[in-house]
Each structure stands twice: as C-alpha cells, then as structure tokens.
C-alpha cells in the first residue's frame, strides 16, 4: 500500500530485526521480507534500518543483492574494545564484528556500512578508546554516529564505577567525530564522476534538491542542472539518476 500511495522508499526497522521470523514456524525471514517489499508495486527501493553483526548472514546478503534493496548496512558497533563490549553485555567481539563487515563487502557491490559508537562508557581507558578508533579505521565506515555515554537511572551502567569526567568524554567524542567526518568525506569522494540514483527528499530555499543515494550519501543538486535527468521540483519524493561532479563535506 505504501508504494501505491507514492512512497518511493520503504525502511524496514525494528529491534533485532535480523532475527525476524526465526522464533515462529512458517513465518518469513527478514531476507524474504526485504524481497517481498522490493517487489511491491510502486516501491522503488527498500532500506534496512539496522542489524546486529551476528545477524549478517548469507541469506540476508543474497537478498540485498536485489536491485531494489539498498546496499546499505547499519551495524551498531558501540565499542571496538573487547573488555568494554563485555561490560556493555554485547555478545560479539571486535573480531566478529569486522568479519561481518568483511562478509558484507565480499557479497555486495560497494555497500555502505554505517555504525553507532558510544564514547565514555564507565571505565573506558585511553587505550580502549584508541582500540575503538582503530577498529573504525579498519572497518572504513561510510558514516559514524558518535554519542557520549549518559547514565540512565536504574540501569546497570549507571551503577558502575569509573564514570569519566565530562571533559574527557567531550574530547574523545570530538576526536571520533573528526575521524567519522574524514571517513565519510572519503566515501563521498569515491562517487565523484559516477552516476548514482538519488531519492530527493526536499527543496532548499535556494532552490536546490537534497536527498540520499541508495548507499546513503547525502547529495545536493541545483534545481534544474544538466546533471539531473529531467530535474524539476516534481522530483521531491522521487528517485532520479544523477551525475556526481564534486564533494565539499562529509
């Protein structure tokens, strides 16, 4: 119904969405859901919101090879240090996380891999923070959402010892965001000179069209440039083929 109502992109989202259907006999898997949505009338593309590293498997990646499925995986990292991950009660190691990223890159055509990273978890040392930064470089994320640890009453983490001074957390957040901007700029630069498909979401007051590619690169185009085929304000909410001519920011 969404496609028939004019929505060009459908985002499949949920908590541990990669496990969808595994606990109920006869239910479709996440991979089957993605394919069904991609084939729905009117839907031009489907995007997966987030999936855990342990949920990245061959069936999912095979489904993501469908031309209607965005080659974009958002895999939350949280930390790149094994000791911090254990304190967070995360059920993966940095090595397993990297293997999931490598598997995705071996099966998909230039997939975007984005992530979330928490900075300043109780007890995080300088070395553990450096381990996180090193893993981010190794994974070559196309975008990193960095957020500082914030204690929530009643949670196990709130009662842990070793809460870090705010200035330390701010500085680590600044450094990781700087790394994230550099990686995002490198990713965007890799598309210069090529054609991409963009879903335009809005027009700016200056008359530019703004949207995202299937590989989650934010793109801005003049209202009716030669680089956008048949570009008009009617392109908002539609997918267009665009020639990338340059980049100026992450």
Instruction: Give per-residue pLDDT as tens, 150-171.
Output: 999 999 999 999 999 999 999 9
- Clarify whether residues 23 and 76 are in a common domain: yes
147 and 85 in a single domain? The answer is yes
Q: Do the domain assignments include residue 109?
A: yes
156 and 49 belong to one structural domain: yes
Structural domain for 147, as ranges = 9-189
pLDDT tens digits for range 75-103 = 999 999 999 999 999 999 999 999 999 99
**Is there a single domain that holds both residue 185 and residue 236?**
no
| Residues in the chain with pLDDT values less than 50 | 226, 250
Same domain flag for 115 and 140: yes
Q: Are residues 160 and 236 in the same domain?
A: no
248 within domain boundaries = no
Question: How many residues in total does the chain contain?
Answer: 250
Q: Does 3 fall in a domain?
A: no
Residues 54 and 16 in one domain: yes
- Per the domain annotation, does 110 fall within a domain? yes
pLDDT at 229: 52
pLDDT for the residue 235: 82
Considering the domain architecture, whether residues 181 and 212 belong to the same structural domain is answered as no
2 located within any domain: no
**CA–CA distance, 104 with 100 (Å, rounded to integer):** 6
- Which residue in 5, 8, 135, 155 sits closest to 76, CA to CA? 135
Domain boundary among 143, 170, 189: 189
Q: Is there a domain that residue 249 lies in?
A: no
Q: What is the number of other CB atoms lying within 10 angstroms of the CB of residue 180?
A: 22
pLDDT score of 250: 46
Pure H helices in 109-153: 126-139
* Integer angstrom CA distances of residue 121 from 56, 94, 156, 157, 163: 26, 16, 12, 8, 7
88 and 139 assigned to the same domain: yes
Answer yes or no: are the C-beta atoms of 197 and 239 closer than 8 Å.
yes
Please indicate, yes or no, whether residues 224 and 141 belong to a single structural domain of this protein: no
- Pairwise CA distance, residues 85 & 62, whole Å: 29
Query: Which pLDDT score is estimated for 23?
Result: 81
Q: State residue 5's pLDDT score.
A: 67
Does 250 fall in a domain? no
In a domain, 1, yes or no: no
- 44 plus 102 within the same structural domain: yes
- pTM score above 0.85: yes
The predicted structure's pLDDT at residue 213: 97
Q: What does the alpha-carbon distance between residue 210 and residue 222 come to, in Å, rounded to a whole number?
A: 9
Q: What is the CATH number of the domain that holds 151?
A: 3.80.30.20
Question: Residue 218 — φ and ψ, nearest 5°?
Answer: -75, 130
Say how many domains are in the chain: 2
């Amino acid at each position: 119904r969404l496609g028939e109502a004019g929505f060009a992109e459908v985002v499949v989202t949920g908590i541990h969405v990669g496990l969808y259907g595994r606990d109920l006999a006869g239910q479709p898997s996440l991979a089957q859901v993605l394919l069904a949505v991609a084939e729905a009338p009117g839907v031009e593309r489907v995007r997966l919101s987030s999936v855990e590293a342990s949920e990245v498997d061959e069936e999912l990646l095979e489904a993501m090879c469908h031309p209607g499925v965005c080659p974009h995986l958002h895999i939350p990292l949280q930390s790149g240090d094994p000791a911090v991950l254990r304190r967070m009660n995360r059920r993966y190691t940095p090595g397993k996380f990297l293997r999931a990223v490598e598997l995705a890159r071996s099966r998909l055509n230039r997939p975007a891999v984005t992530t979330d990273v928490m900075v300043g978890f109780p007890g995080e040392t300088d070395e553990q923070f450096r381990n996180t930064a090193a893993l981010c470089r190794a994974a070559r994320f196309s975008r990193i959402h960095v957020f500082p640890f914030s204690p929530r009453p009643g949670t196990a983490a709130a009662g842990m010892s070793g809460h870090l001074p705010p200035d330390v957390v701010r500085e680590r957040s600044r450094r990781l965001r700087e790394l994230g901007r550099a990686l995002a700029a490198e990713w965007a630069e890799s598309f210069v000179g090529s054609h991409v498909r963009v879903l335009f979401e809005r027009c700016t007051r200056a008359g530019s069209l703004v949207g995202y590619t299937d590989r989650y690169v934010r793109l801005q185009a003049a209202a009716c440039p030669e680089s956008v085929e048949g570009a008009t304000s009617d392109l908002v909410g539609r997918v267009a083929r665009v020639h990338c001519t340059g980049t100026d920011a992450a």
